[in-house]
Chain A
Amino acid sequence: MRKITINPVTRIEGHAKITLQLDEVGEVATARFHVNEFRGFEKFCEGRLFTEMPNITPRICGICPVSHAVASAKAGEMIMKVTPPVAGELVRRLIHLGQHISSHALSFFHLSCPDLLLGWGGDPARRNIVGLAAAHPDVARRGIRLRQFGQEISERITGKKIHAIGIVAGGMLQPLTEEAREALRAWVPEARETVRLGLELLARHCAEHADEVRDFDRFETLYLGTVGPEGEHELYDGRLRFVDARGGMLADQLDPARYLDWIAEQPVEWSYLKYPYYRPLGPERGVYRVGPLARLNVASRMKTPLAQAEFERFRALAEGGPVHGSFRYHQARLIETLGCVEEIELLLDDPRITSDETQAQARRNQAEGVGCSESPRGTLFHHYVTDAGGLLTGVNLLIATGQNNPAMNRSILDVARRHVRGNDISEEALNRVEGAIRCYDPCLSCSTHAVGSMPLVIELRNARGDLTGCWARGTGG
């Protein structure tokens, strides 16, 4: 039996390794997406005041710090039994949308466009951001500008681009100034145009590679996402909806605070990532996906007109049902980005957003709190348990990449089985396996769990099941 290892997977956020296990006739038998990075932030947070968490948790990740801060603040607000003032909610929503734009812009224009514009068979030394910049400088520059827009929202509100200090339990420390509002408004037309350009570019690729896009990988899963009261697409705040592989409603308007009633996690031996699943259906039938594709599959509609028009085109791909092809994550990401730009424009027009009343004050009023937000990669939960003094005695972070972990392995297997054949393993085939993972835009910097709870062991077995190699990482922090 032959083992092929792709290590590291390039252009994903964090560290990862993929292992393909071939059987005796050279067919791919199993595929694994390993997580070797080791964080253990949950243990690190125990013993701290719950009110510190919106300041600490953004440092878990430089990619989606606002989603962590928002989920953390919401968990704190549940513990305090307090609701932020309207302006606090609006400003938080604004900064959250900005983060989605930044993250989605990076994912599409700089991590995925090298595949789309330079070709799957391209030289890996040039099939990257620098190669993209050389061959398509306008696309690269526009992507950078779009990302700058998202970052500038954060910077103008909080004074920081990356770690969104200022989001607190109870609202926001800083209001949005009139000057900042006007400066951000000026970005909107260009941002909208850039997203439209991205959608056109993707549509052209899909038309020119229709068979490939259709067959990229299209296994069926359940989907989870946040929706508004009428089932509308929602990123900042709402209730949870699960749909099945045919688009049927499994559960709707679920209180995020009761996520453990619906989601269970099982550890796997070969990764620090856990395997979450939809509890009522069990680990085999309960595999679900989160993130842009899932959010568009669970939503009844978008909230803004341009995004709604794209949403209708997207859903028409599956005649109104869920779109299963992982390649369509890219399209979903761009549709969400368009919706974010439109929603930002609406928020900036809301006269309440510049009010100075951005924070409500309260003390600890109950022991436990759960906060939920949609991060760029999917639904994010922060769950805190506190003692009487407000110190954390238990922390659980259920993050998007962890929830997509079972589906990512299915995607790798699906793609590898079609493109990897025994000794005929081309650079292009390996690129496609990596590309399957990149559809999910995984971020591993915040996706591992408690320190010391799980050793990582990689075993190599031949066709008879004999152990021929073993690599282990010890336990403990």
Chain B
Amino acid sequence: MLGAGNRRVKTLVIGYGNALRGDDGVGPAVAERLAALALKDVEVRSATQLQLEWAAEWSGYERVVLIDAAVEGAAISRERVWPGDGGEGDGGAHELQAGVLVSLARVLYGRAPEVWRWRIRGESFGIGDELTPGVRVAADEVTERIGRSLDDGDDLPSAGGRRNAGLTSI
């Protein structure tokens, strides 16, 4: 991926959610598809939930791309995650909010990456390890869009325009 000044941006991609809770597993499913693309300068991971210690790790990346399931909203959406977004961690689907990790990366380690989050609206969150058909299609589309963005050097487009293309540093 190319950022400002045509240099490659070190990017971490994390798909998260519970793969045993139906469409909640769409994040890991997209991560798996993206990992198979073996994109240059892109590390891909999957997890059940965000982890506190990632705050340290994130401070070493310039960009983090998250993929998560959503209970409501648009079928596919993307947004920039800002420090403190989502509050302290309010008992939501994955407990620790991405905005908290951005805050911690800044406060504890001096710099935070630019963080983007893609959300795919799920249809069923019951016990089970399969995605519903509509979410499978959405997962393919998000994989293709993220993969293309990371591969051809385009910056990830934001719904509301890019507010800060570089590192968030203090």
> Contact string, A34-78, partner B, CB cutoff 8 A, digits 1/0?
000001110110000000000010011010000000000000000
**Which of B18, B52, B126, B127 is close to A106, meaning CB atoms less than 8 Å apart?**
B52
> Contact string, A99-138, partner B, CB cutoff 8 A, digits 1/0?
0000000100010000000000000110011100110010
**Which of A59, A106, A129, A144 is close to B20, meaning CB atoms less than 8 Å apart?**
A59
Q: Which residue of B lies closest to A61 (CB)?
A: B48
Question: What's the least CB distance linking A35 to chain B, in Å?
Answer: 12
CB–CB B95/A162 < 8 A: no
Q: Chain B interface residue count: which class?
A: 20 to 34
Question: What's the least CB distance linking B99 to chain A, in Å?
Answer: 9
**Which of B47, B89, B90, B108 is close to A62, meaning CB atoms less than 8 Å apart?**
B47
Interface centre among A40, A124, A162 (most CB of B within 10 A): A162
List B contacts of A56 (CB < 8 A).
20
List B contacts of A133 (CB < 8 A).
103-104, 107-108
Interface residue count on the A side (C-beta < 8 Å): 40
The answer, yes or no, to whether A2 is at the interface (CB within 8 Å) is no
Q: A137-B108, A148-B56 are in contact. Are A129 and B49 (CB under 8 A)?
A: no
**Docked pose: A16 CA to B55 CA in angstroms:** 26
Q: Tell me the residues in window 53-106 of chain B with beta carbons closer than 8 Å to chain A beta carbons.
A: 53, 55-56, 84, 88-91, 95, 100, 103-104
Question: What's the least CB distance linking A184 to chain B, in Å?
Answer: 16
CB–CB A43/B56 < 8 A: no
**Docked pose: A410 CA to B49 CA in angstroms:** 31
Q: A129-B88, A147-B52, A161-B51 are in contact. Are A451 and B127 (CB under 8 A)?
A: yes
CB–CB A130/B103 < 8 A: yes
Q: Which residue of B lies closest to A37 (CB)?
A: B91
> Looking at the complex, which of A4-12, A207-215, A301-309, A329-337 is the stretch in contact with chain B?
A4-12
**Docked pose: A10 CA to B51 CA in angstroms:** 16
List A contacts of B90 (CB < 8 A).
8, 10
List A contacts of B52 (CB < 8 A).
106, 110, 129, 144, 147
List B contacts of A451 (CB < 8 A).
127
Residues of A within 8 A of B (CB): 8-16, 39-41, 43-44, 56, 59-60, 62, 106, 110, 124-125, 128-130, 133-134, 137, 140-141, 144-145, 147-148, 151, 161-163, 451, 477
Residues of B within 8 A of A (CB): 18-20, 47-49, 51-53, 55-56, 84, 88-91, 95, 100, 103-104, 107-108, 126-128
Give the 7 A-B residue pairs with the shortest CB-CB distance, closest first: A8-B91, A62-B48, A128-B88, A44-B127, A133-B107, A148-B53, A130-B103
- Contacts A134-B107, A148-B56, A151-B53 aside, 14 further interface pairs with beta carbons under 8 A come to A11-B89, A39-B127, A40-B127, A44-B127, A128-B88, A129-B52, A129-B88, A130-B103, A133-B103, A137-B107, A140-B104, A141-B108, A144-B52, A144-B108
